Amino acid sequence: MTMDALTRTLTPSAVPGNGTPGGTVRTGTSSVARALPAQPSAPPADTGAATASAARAPRRSVVHNPSLQTDVAQAQQALDYLARIAAQLEALKTDLSTRLAGRGAASRQLEARVRQLGDTLDARRSEGGAGLDAELGFDGSRVAQQRFRIDGLDIASLQAAGPQTLGFSVGSVGGPQLAARFEPGMTEEEIARRLDRTLAPVGIRAGLDTDRTLVFTTPEATFDGVKDAIAVTGRGRVDTVALPPSLAPQEWKLGNPDALRQGLRDVVQALTRVRRSQDAATLALSVAMARTAQPEMEQAELALLAADFSGTATSHDYQSLLAITSALVGVSRERVQALLGLH
């Protein structure tokens, strides 16, 4: 595309719908003109020029909100990964069902699918994004969590002992000192809540697992710095044990019907979690995309943006040419016209 064509594309006369005075145009990113540096102009001669100059001041768009961009990217990455996992689980479910029915999927094919699923699960942290945890659960409001236990810290021992106060610290140099008091007769839920409130300031949460045992969680990204840095009063450093994910195909022994049935149950349960996570990620993406909606832009402001671009396009200095070429890489005339013509 020639420079003259670029100029014609973004001048007010080339903007679709510009013939209606006082009309508005809704933009997506209102991007190309905003991406270019403002050109120096002569000092304003009157208040009208000052007003026009003020109208040219860039407005920060929600599209440029780093948190919003992270939310969108995180949901999209999770959806892409979950789609691959779902396809592999469906194929594996079919093979396992066929094998159990005695119609016999070839052992080599079944083993290949199991290895493929294991490889995909191993790549979750790098390919699934920070919002997808080891259980293939997605929560748009927080990053993936690592579940773990603390050796010697369990419901039974805390209920059996008399009144006691335990001090906790997390960190290589002792960290903040935290204390929790436990009394005889406290229920499992009360003990879990007491620990949760105590450890929350250092990014560790406590709760009850499905088997009513204590389980702790912390962001996966910080677990390596936490697991060897927890100390309890009177015990010193305590060992932590990361809980493995429910879906662990590398541990399946598919040589007998019982193992095949267990593998099939694991696959079906995993598919249920994946479907829930796909729904959650889709919702999170929809919410994030809704927040990117741009306000309507008056024709006068759009004309000023086009004029700014036109002025930059006719300049021959290096900075202007660099800004134009960088902003327009991969942008066709049709795409620009469609962007500026959105209603």
Domain boundaries, the chain: 3-38+297-340, 67-136+247-287, 145-242
Task: Tell me the residue type at 115.
Answer: R
207-217: pLDDT as tens digits = 999 888 999 99
Residue 38: per-residue pLDDT: 43
Q: What DSSP character marks residue 60? A: -
Residue 331: per-residue pLDDT: 65
Half-sphere exposure of 69 (CA within 13 A, CB side): 7
Q: Measured between alpha carbons, how far is residue 189 from residues 158, 205, 209 in Å?
A: 12, 13, 11
Sequence-separated (6 or more) residues with CB below 8 Å from residue 3: 313, 314, 324
> What is the C-alpha to C-alpha distance for residues 240 and 247, in angstroms, rounded to an integer?
21
In the chain, alpha helices (H) = 3-10, 31-34, 47-55, 66-100, 107-122, 124-127, 155-160, 188-199, 220-226, 257-290, 299-313, 318-327, 333-340
The one-digit pLDDT tens for each residue of the chain (343 residues) are 444 444 444 444 443 444 433 443 333 343 333 334 444 444 444 444 444 444 444 444 444 567 777 888 889 999 999 999 999 999 999 999 888 887 665 667 888 999 999 999 999 989 998 899 999 999 887 889 999 999 888 898 888 877 889 999 887 655 668 999 999 889 999 999 999 999 999 899 999 998 889 999 999 988 988 888 898 987 888 889 999 999 999 888 877 888 899 999 999 999 999 999 999 999 999 888 887 665 566 778 778 877 877 777 777 777 777 777 766 666 666 666 666 665 4
Residue 9: per-residue pLDDT: 44
> What is the C-alpha to C-alpha distance for residues 232 and 216, in angstroms, rounded to an integer?
15
Q: What DSSP character marks residue 237? A: E
Contact 120, 88 (CB under 8 A): yes
Residue 27: per-residue pLDDT: 38
CATH of 145-242, one of 1.10.150, 1.10.10, 3.40.720, 2.60.40: 2.60.40
- The closest alpha carbon to 71, from 221, 287, 273, belongs to 287
Using alpha carbons only, how large is the chain's radius of gyration in Å?
Answer: 29
276-293: pLDDT as tens digits = 999 999 999 988 888 766
